Amino acid sequence: KIMTANLGCVIVAVDGSEESMNALRWALGNIRLRSPPPGSTESPGHFVILHVQSPPSIAAGLNPGAIPFGGPTDLEVPAFTAAIEAHQKRITQAILDHALEICGDKKADVKTQVVIGDAKEKICEAVENLHADLVVMGSRSFGPIK
């Protein structure tokens, strides 16, 4: 069933999981965005594919300064962090490439946005900053929404 409304901005949060990609497929197939008549000053609706990248400290799962044996030294920490950041950028690009491939033959206006931080907070911030009308996310069965 197609959802029709005066939707100007729909955020689809993707994290690389199949659930999030299925949510994107569902959104593209079931949501009809605003399509103003010719001559209208209203802008047409668009989708924003949002990916929240973890900060390097979270991605590493550790704080290098807290490792007593065998961890990076103070001199190695910047290189260690840079390597994690480069790895995360490659993962993010792969996620966005996959999402844009799904959008491929759809006639929707799709933008992408990457933010770094805690997913819960950053998705809420994006909703406010982009004045989103709707947020679509996959369900990963983590239990009740926190």
Dump pLDDT digits (tens) for 89-98.
999 999 999 9
* Residue written as token pair 């990609």: 21
With both helix axes pointing from N to C terminus, report the angle between 18-30 and 77-103 in degrees, rounded to the nearest 10: 40
- Predicted TM-score (pTM) of the model is 0.79
Predicted confidence at residue 3, as pLDDT, reads 66
At residue 31's C-alpha, the angle toward residues 110 and 141, to 5°, is 95
In this predicted model, what pLDDT tens digit does every residue of 45-76 receive, in sequence order?
999 999 999 887 655 555 555 555 555 555 56
User: Distance of CA 64 to CAs 33, 57, 58, 86, Å?
Assistant: 46, 8, 11, 17
Q: Is 81 helix (H, G, I), strand (E, B) or coil?
A: helix
Please give the Cα distance from 4 to 30 (Å, whole number).
8
Predicted confidence at residue 145, as pLDDT, reads 47
